[in-house]
Amino acid sequence: MSGAAPVTIEDVRTAQARIEGKIRRTPVLRSSTVDELFGARFFFKCENFQRAGVFKSRGAFNSVYSLSDAEARYGVVTSSSGNHAAAISLAARTRGVRAYIAMPKIALKSKIAAVQRYGGEIAWVDAVGEVPTTEEYDATVARVQAEKRASLVHPYNDRRTIAGQGTCALEFLEECSDLHFILAPVGGGGLLSGTAVAANASPRGIRVIGCEPLMADDAQRSLRAGHIVPQLAPRTIADGLRTSLGDLTFAIISKGVEDIVTVTEESIVEAMRLAWSVLKIVIEPSSAVPLAALLERRIPIEGKNVGVIVSGGNVDLDRLPWSQAAT
């Protein structure tokens, strides 16, 4: 992807127009209890109510509907541990084309079921270790491309995907124009980089903060090192945040994100429980990471208006992190 043109606010606006009517305009939730707990005013952008239960539907629909009829003829192929896989499967089904998904065998059963429910065809990734490497994902995708002639849609390191994810923050700011902060989780960086593009276009000087697990902290290390530090052995319950940054997402994040903070696994579980019990919404571990950063007092937000992107709500109800079944 090196040398690709940067993603602009015009790209995000074009994506917003393209996917209008195909995705949901998700609600913004308030909670006086959370405001009092942290001493700030919070606005939760609930992408757990998005189609396929995740923000990734935005990038998936933008990518799939960006393709010409000739490009889409043989379907699309991507790699994902779950959420992007389901989103691409849904977008492809909606357009009437096939979707091929390179997916790890350790993916949550609930996310595998979602892919199958939306008609995606899974190509299992052969991995030496428990978690497939980027190279192992890429090899599976290349094989499917050679066999099926499908068009590649990268899960995050793709201008179309990033622009689509940026529509979440653009929509957020249309409703909440006076935010001082926007917090978003970061894995491969599609959501965070798209958020940065949208927020940086605002004249208000919104501070964009990325949040990630301490046990998968490649984005923070990359930002501080000034170059991509690959994710080698992520050990986090936040399965959607185990991916390394790409060159496109890293370039945007390096320029447009103020900081990336990390949180412990214990805080992720506590934050997930807080959302379920106080906000009364179902969120997955990856979505709980920004809230965990608040619990750990990682960001100076006292008295400010804080936007939090709740990235998704796809959980395995048979293996909740606080249940015996998860141990």
pLDDT tens readout for residues 261-316: 999 999 999 999 999 999 999 999 999 999 999 999 999 999 999 999 999 998 88
Stretch 180-189: mean pLDDT: 97
**Pairing verdict, β 28-29 and 41-46:** antiparallel
Average pLDDT over residues 26-42: 97
Q: How far is residue 139 from each of residues 74, 83, 117, 155, measured CA to CA in Å?
A: 19, 20, 25, 15
- pLDDT at position 5 is 67
* Closest C-alpha among 275, 278, 277, 259 to residue 313: 275
Q: CA 250 to CA 217: how far, in whole Å?
A: 14
Distance CA(228)–CA(250), nearest Å, equals 7
Q: Report residue 24 as tokens.
A: 């949901």
| pTM (global) more than 0.75 | yes
Name the band, by pLDDT with cuts 50, 70 and 90, for residue 233: confident
Would you state the pLDDT for residue 156?
Answer: 95
CA distance 45 to 29: 7
User: Can you tell me the mean pLDDT for 63-91?
Assistant: 95
At residue 60, the pLDDT reads: 97
Residue range 43-55: average pLDDT? 97
Report the DSSP beta bridge partners of residue 146. none
Q: Specify the pLDDT at position 133.
A: 78
Tell me the domains of the chain and their CATH numbers. 9-54+158-326 (3.40.50.1100), 57-152 (3.40.50.1100)
